[in-house]
Structure 1
């Protein structure tokens, strides 16, 4: 098929750079616009962007001009990948959707809106249908679809497998979140060196609410939140990439660690999702070593899209304990949003 013209909003930031890297040579999408702050307008991306990734900046990106995040400036893009800060996204993304541009957003601004899908394609692809409700209610020809917080992502994928097999009642989550989740320049070195920071603003609320929307049921024109109790502690640690979450889970139907491991390892995406270019292969990898997963060793499993689970064991208060690892800027941010876009194309919402 002819490639779909796309824009990357806030392309110079850490998540924006990951979008640029993942979109290089994408089989479905061609980047026609990169946007950034006003100070970069009129300059090239290579001049403005302080490239942070180990992979080299694509040549084509370095030569592109940095543009405003306005519909008229996006060179005919039909789809925009948004790495905008939440406060900016709240203004920019609806204007683009009103102008007929479809937005796959990494921002948190619209995740709680009842007519905006909060998507992990392996978990709740049917929620994509909310864009039909959104268009009808808001009079947009475009739409906004969101991916979840980077910490919510991996744990929700693991919880989905357990929910389908055994049901879920309560979840206790403790995160150890990588520095890249704070963006650039992020956390000051004197705050994080030789230290753990036991507070990340707004994170605990997201981790406690977002999985309930994604694991909930779409009935008619609304999602009914899953009736799961979630309690979360979120912490920033001195790791570059890869969010680790320690989960303690109470199931509706008791299961042994061995049964849970079998279910997690066997978890598959629905057939249309499994065939998408950015799909995780496998969706979940279960590690049997007693000291895995580890961010440095396991975060790039499945090109950074696979959720890695380990340390499955019984719990004396609930039922199971497990450790979940997810690459926060790939699976939990740009890669997740890219997979959402592929799902929306396959579902016919860009036609």
Structure 2
């Protein structure tokens, strides 16, 4: 395998695109060789076109890079990380895969396609077997791999260890940060001193995506998990970090201590992947944790913190929505693909 893999970012000027740049800065395996964005930004230097919103400084390595159009004939890369809007991604990501690119997508456009892997490496790495199915079916030289919705990805790693107890049903109420809607997504006068009890299509994603993620790959397709999920999604005035109240029903009726231990013992062996946190699930025993401001940066934003595990089983889960829930998830998928020799 090559020492350095050329990486492009599609939708590089947006919030998730900026997180991709942050995640790939000084990455040991990937080097950013191309930044692509809309026609409005194409031809400009990144430092001039992007309104940098992150707390860290814009990396010097990208400031002077010229933005190219989102076109496979203009992009110089082996793998592209997609932060494109779903409506645009449906067409564009397919064009890149046809042209031989590996597309690690954060967009929702292809997540539920039967031949496209929807992956959280710690949960269902074996679903990457769908890559061969996808290429055979579509005749593509490249392929698309997706990661789930930002709220789904906070919940599903906590459900995986509960499968051993015979997970039957899940109810979840989310308290989702405003950054999940993008910088211009929620007006300040709408969210300040307020909670918005509706996020378009979010509940549907949380009720469908986990069934694919927790399903079984039989060599040709994923058989969805037989779990009933009911979600209620809410936008709250928090900058970063989605918090979720989860109720899980299991046939074995485990105790809170058994569930706590299952969370602590959840340590999938992915090998040495640079973005993988030391502890996927962090358990806090304090009665008032997790909290976004205190816990969202655990594991450099890639760990999920759980707490308040009570009879029922009821517990809280919290994770960083634009790192673990977006850019970091795609980068981790690409790292696993590289380790498997698929880049």
Q: TM-score normalized by structure 2?
A: 0.99
Give yes or no for contact 1:208–1:232 (8 Å, CA) kept in 2.
yes
Q: Deviation of residue 346 (structure 1)?
A: 1.1
Partner residue, 1:214: 213
Give yes or no for contact 2:211–2:224 (8 Å, CA) kept in 1.
yes
Q: Deviation of residue 123 (structure 1)?
A: 0.1
Partner residue, 1:229: 228
Partner residue, 1:72: 73
Please list, as runs of the form range in 1=range in 2, the aligned pairs for 1:241-252 lying within 5 A after superposition.
241-252=240-251
Residues 1:166 and 2:159 are matched in the alignment: no
Q: Deviation of residue 252 (structure 1)?
A: 2.0
Q: Which structure 1 residue ranges, 5 or more long, are not aligned?
A: none
Give yes or no for contact 1:123–1:160 (8 Å, CA) kept in 2.
yes
Please list, as runs of the form range in 1=range in 2, the aligned pairs for 1:255-270 lying within 5 A after superposition.
255-269=254-268
Secondary structure of 1:33's counterpart equals: strand
Partner residue, 1:322: 315
Give yes or no for contact 2:169–2:249 (8 Å, CA) kept in 1.
yes
Give yes or no for contact 1:274–1:280 (8 Å, CA) kept in 2.
no
Secondary structure of 2:326's counterpart equals: helix
Q: Deviation of residue 274 (structure 1)?
A: 4.0
Partner residue, 2:298: 301
Instruction: Measure, in 1, the Cα distance between the counterparts of 2:40 and 2:228.
Output: 45
Instruction: Measure, in 2, the Cα distance between the counterparts of 1:280 and 1:162.
Output: 20
Q: Deviations over 1:253-295 (max 9, x none)?
A: 11110110011011011x2x24211112101000000000000
Partner residue, 2:136: 136
Q: Deviation of residue 154 (structure 1)?
A: 1.4
Q: Deviation of residue 220 (structure 1)?
A: 2.2
Q: Which structure 2 residue ranges, 5 or more long, are not aligned?
A: none
Residues 1:285 and 2:278 are matched in the alignment: no
Instruction: Measure, in 2, the Cα distance between the counterparts of 1:328 and 1:111.
Output: 17
Q: Deviations over 1:45-85 (max 9, x none)?
A: 0000000000111001111011111111112x010000000
Q: Deviation of residue 2 (structure 1)?
A: 1.8
Partner residue, 2:40: 39
Please list, as runs of the form range in 1=range in 2, the aligned pairs for 1:79-90 lying within 5 A after superposition.
79-90=79-90
Partner residue, 2:104: 104
Instruction: Measure, in 2, the Cα distance between the counterparts of 1:198 and 1:18.
Output: 27
Give yes or no for contact 2:283–2:306 (8 Å, CA) kept in 1.
yes
Aligned-residue CA RMSD (Å)? 0.7
Instruction: Measure, in 2, the Cα distance between the counterparts of 1:66 and 1:18.
Output: 17
Q: Deviations over 1:284-334 (max 9, x none)?
A: 00000000000000000010000100000002xxxx000000110000100
Runs of 4+ in 1 over 2 A off after TM superposition: none
Give yes or no for contact 1:215–1:226 (8 Å, CA) kept in 2.
yes
Instruction: Measure, in 2, the Cα distance between the counterparts of 1:73 and 1:116.
Output: 25
Instruction: Measure, in 1, the Cα distance between the counterparts of 2:145 and 2:97.
Output: 10
Give yes or no for contact 1:15–1:334 (8 Å, CA) kept in 2.
yes
Give yes or no for contact 2:212–2:224 (8 Å, CA) kept in 1.
yes
Partner residue, 2:339: 346
Q: How many residues align?
A: 342
Partner residue, 2:181: 182
